[in-house]
Structure formats: structure tokens, C-alpha cells
Amino acid sequence: MQEKYLAFTGRPNAGKSSIIKEVVGLNIATGKRPGTTRRISKYPLSGDLVLVDMPGFGKMMGSSKRLENKINDQIIEFLESNAQNIVLAVSVLDRSTFLEVTWRLEKKGFISVDVEIVKFLADILGEFP
């Protein structure tokens, strides 16, 4: 039976493992510093569905450029070689990163649907700075 993947991706310390731990109830390592997850980890869910917790993609404070490149290459390799079997990819953005990216895009005149829905939810929930 071919595995099907639910992949969690994002920058270092975005909260990928924390979300997985809380939502799915897996007992996995989490930490306050970037780079707690340093290898691609697979967790069988049911049938052929496998949850994939990825290390952070990009700059990791306190890590060598060589390690960052190695981890980034492993992530790219996994995603490219398993693209046909990824049924859902979740890109996790922490709030501060999302707001920074949103601000940069708005300065260039872009307002994406994602930005609109987050602003809408923030207005309803009263939690947007």
C-alpha cells in the first residue's frame, strides 16, 4: 500500500511540531529555540495516511550554514520525490512572520485572499494588532 502524506512545513520555530502535538496528540519534542526538529519525522495516522513533521526551512539561529543547507536539501528532496503522494501540505506561519510578510506585500500593492481572511478573522475575534 502506497503511503499518503499530510505534510507540515514552515520556517524554523513556526510551531509545526507544537500544532501536531496539540491537535493530533502525538508526544513529540517541541522547544522555544529554532531547530528542535532536525530531521523529517513520519507518524502513521490511519490506513495509509502518514503525518510528516518537517524541520524548519530557512535560517536557523545558532546553526551552521552547512547544516541549514543540508536540512533544506532534505526537505526539498522529500517534497519533490513524494509530490504525488502528498494529499495535504500545511504551511505553518507564526503570527509575527505572517504580519511581516503581509506588510511587505501590502507595500507592493498586493493583498491576497489569505491576508483578507486573516484580517476578517482578526476583526471578528478582536486579536489583530
**Band (3; pLDDT cuts 50, 70, 90):** very high
Q: Which CATH architecture has domain 4-92?
A: 3-Layer(aba) Sandwich (3.40)
pLDDT at 85 over 90: yes
The CA dihedral of 13, 118, 19, 88, to the nearest 10 degrees, is -100
Edge-to-edge strand list for the sheet holding 49-53:
41-46, 49-53, 4-10, 86-92
pLDDT tens for residues 115-124? 676 677 667 6
Instruction: For Cα atoms 29, 49, 16, give the angle at the middle one, nearest 5 degrees.
Output: 30
Whole-angstrom distance, CA of residue 113 vs CA of residue 57: 24
More confident residue, 33 or 8: 8
pLDDT of 38 above 80: no
pLDDT, tens digit, for every residue of 46-72? 999 999 998 888 777 777 889 888 988
Q: What percent of the chain has pLDDT over 70?
A: 80
37 in Cβ contact with 56 (< 8 Å): yes
Q: At what angle do helices 95-107 and 113-125 cross, to 10 degrees?
A: 130
Mean pLDDT, residues 75-87 taken together: 91
First vs last C-alpha separation in the chain: 47
pLDDT at 18: 84
**Domain boundaries along the sequence of the chain:** 4-92, 94-129
